[in-house]
A = this chain, B = another copy of it.
Amino acid sequence: MLKKGLLLLPVLAFICVLKLTGQAHKTSFNVVPLGVKGGLDESNLSAYLIAPEGSSNYICFDAGTLHYGIKKAVENKVFNTSAEQVLKKYVKGYLISHAHLDHVAGLIINSPEDSTKNIYGLPKVLNVLRDKYFTWDSWANFANEGEKPALKKYIYTYLEENKEVSLSGTEMTVRAFTLSHSNPYQSTAFLVKSNDSYALYLGDTGEDDIENSDKLQVLCQQVAPLIKEHRLKAIFLEVSFPNKQPDNLLFGHLTPALFMKELFKLSQLTGKSTLRDVSFIVTHIKPSGNNEQKIRVELERENTLHLKLIYPQQGKLLKF
């Protein structure tokens, strides 16, 4: 009897650890950051794989860096296969927030080795891919529209504002919301759903007052009910510059102060304690000088809401 009890001890301890860390039945999404920085470093630009827990069917939020990030993830044993196979088999499609090169360079560069899949985006975004990048002057037309011959590896899949669409080859759906990124230039937020859980990815965005826009306010109103129901697990939000960056040189980006200003407004819709259940993944820090360190210090100092801030690392698995 004693012997049997002793044998069960490790199992019980394991269950306790799972309960304490909240990982036992709460994980909804696996996220693999392939690139986390907001510029300069070609080896590490915005791209985040996301799949429901237990699934290998990933969608990629933006695609600034693919190959180098996948290679890092494979080295970290996040995937148990080659980088080539991860790209071809596990990445089922791309959700492109906007067509600035630091968000699409990896997609273009890797297209010769990629498999057939969808590229999802608002029409304005996909039109830039069609007219500027997947052209025979810039590269080759690997997509299904635009300059002839169209190689038809990628299928442009147009999203409409706030209309739910299935993400082909995955167990997820998506809704898109327009963001203002140096008005009138637009970027996109993607609300991804798996079962009853959600994750929200925001591409580059400025703050409403500075942008003379209401896009973040509209988005907050949309997602506040999901936060109150504890169904929105993670929000990816950008902080590009430290606080000292003047408003007229923000180019449609956020600072730590503006990041917290927006989340304070969100907390007024959801309640502060509820917002603490959400994981905030800090994206798109521009790595000039010692900005990375500076932004982190400023965010921690101004985190009077006590939000869960996550600093993603390239190729390191995150669970939400």
Binding site for B on A (CB under 8 A): 39-43, 45, 65-68, 71, 84, 99-102, 105-106, 108-110, 112-113, 128, 131-133, 135-140, 185, 251, 288-289
Contact = CB atoms under 8 A, between A and B. Distances in A.
Contacts of A68: 41-43
- How many subunits of this chain does the assembly comprise? 2
Nearest to A98: B137
Contacts of A131: 137
Given A108-B101, A288-B84, A42 B43 contact: yes
A150 to B, nearest CB: 16
B138 A185 contact: no
A55 B108 CA distance: 36
A109 B288 contact: no
Contact of A133 (B39, B132, B185, B251): B132
Nearest to A82: B289
Nearest to A185: B136
Instruction: Kindly list the 8 A-B residue pairs having the minimum CB-CB distance in the complex, ordered from nearest.
Output: A43-B43, A128-B137, A43-B68, A132-B138, A132-B132, A40-B67, A42-B65, A42-B42
Contact of A109 (B40, B84, B108, B289): B40
B139 A42 contact: no
B138 A101 contact: yes
Contacts of A133: 101, 132, 138
